[in-house]
Amino acid sequence: DSGVTQTPKHLITATGQRVTLRCSPRSGDLSVYWYQQSLDQGLQFLIQYYNGEERAKGNILERFSAQQFPDLHSELNLSSLELGDSALYFCASSVAGTGNHYGYTFGSGTRLTVV
Amino acid sequence: EDQVTQSPEALRLQEGESSSLNCSYTVSGLRGLFWYRQDPGKGPEFLFTLYSAGEEKEKERLKATLTKKESFLHITAPKPEDSATYLCAVQPNTGNQFYFGTGTSLTVIP
């Protein structure tokens, strides 16, 4: 157990729907990062939050949004889902806003299947 | 543009057959290079961090090395339990995000 908790582990939904993925960072970590991993593209950075504020943005679609709450857990909202959004979504956390010696600590991911 | 390329994409080794995985990177300034191991359906697990050319880190049968343009992950006398995908990531001096390669899928055959 890495200490980063992601729920749900699996999610199957239809095209056009909206889903919310949840992440609780490791205790003491202030930064949360969201990554998408698809078979052909590897890990793609989506967005980072640090202590409740957006810190960095990557290749995140306008249909996707995220937030980090006062208790530091984070949610990734995916709307108007398309088949191509099917992927593993990982949350990672770190103490600082810039990562640390150990890089990130990753959760076990949420597998999203859009049918 | 910051970029990470890993090769080969896939590697099959006999148990005990040593080999190396490559990670080539282009980054404006390197804050750190990270190696991770990822098992199927799981999140990446941290292995090593390298900061400067010439640096080496070792852990059991794995040794990571770094030059100004690339990093190698050497696997000595691998065992079947070393089978996994090995990911390389770089963190540039500017910005907070990591850039990941697409990984090398290693299979060690008993």
A115 CB-contact burial (10 Å; exposed 0-12 / middle 13-18 / buried 19+): exposed
Say what the pLDDT of residue A40 is.
72
DSSP state of A13: E
Chain A residues lying within 8 Å of B97, measured CB to CB: 33, 45, 48, 56, 58
Cα–Cα distance, B67 to A85 (Å, whole number) = 36
Residue in B34, B46, B102 nearest the CB of A42: B102
The Cα of A84 is separated from the nearest Cα of chain B by a number of Å equal to 18
Task: Give the minimum alpha-carbon distance from B41 to chain A in angstroms, rounded to a whole number.
Answer: 7
Residue B5 pLDDT > 90, yes or no?
yes
In one-letter notation, the amino acid at residue A13 is T
pLDDT of B95 strictly over 80:
no
Q: Give the angle subtended at the CA of A84 by the CAs of A62 and A73, to the nearest 5°.
A: 55
* Phi and psi at residue B27, to the nearest 5°: -150, 145
Q: In degrees rounded to 5, what are phi and psi of residue A28? A: 95, -15
Task: State the DSSP code for A25.
Answer: P
Q: How far is CA A48 from CA A5, A8, B15, in A?
A: 16, 20, 40
Q: Tell me the chain B residues in contact with residue A105 when contact means C-beta distances shorter than 8 Å.
A: 46
The residue that leads in pLDDT, B95 or A78, is: A78
CB contact under 8 A, B97 and A58: yes
Residues of chain A with pLDDT below 70 are: 97-101
CB A21 within 8 A of CB A110: yes
Q: Which of B71, B22, B37, B75 is nearest to B51 (CA)?
A: B71
Give the up-direction half-sphere exposure of residue B38: CA atoms within 13 A in the CB hemisphere: 29
- Tell me, what's the pLDDT at B13? 97
Within 8 A of B41 by CB-CB distance, chain A residues are 108-109, 111
pLDDT at A101: 67
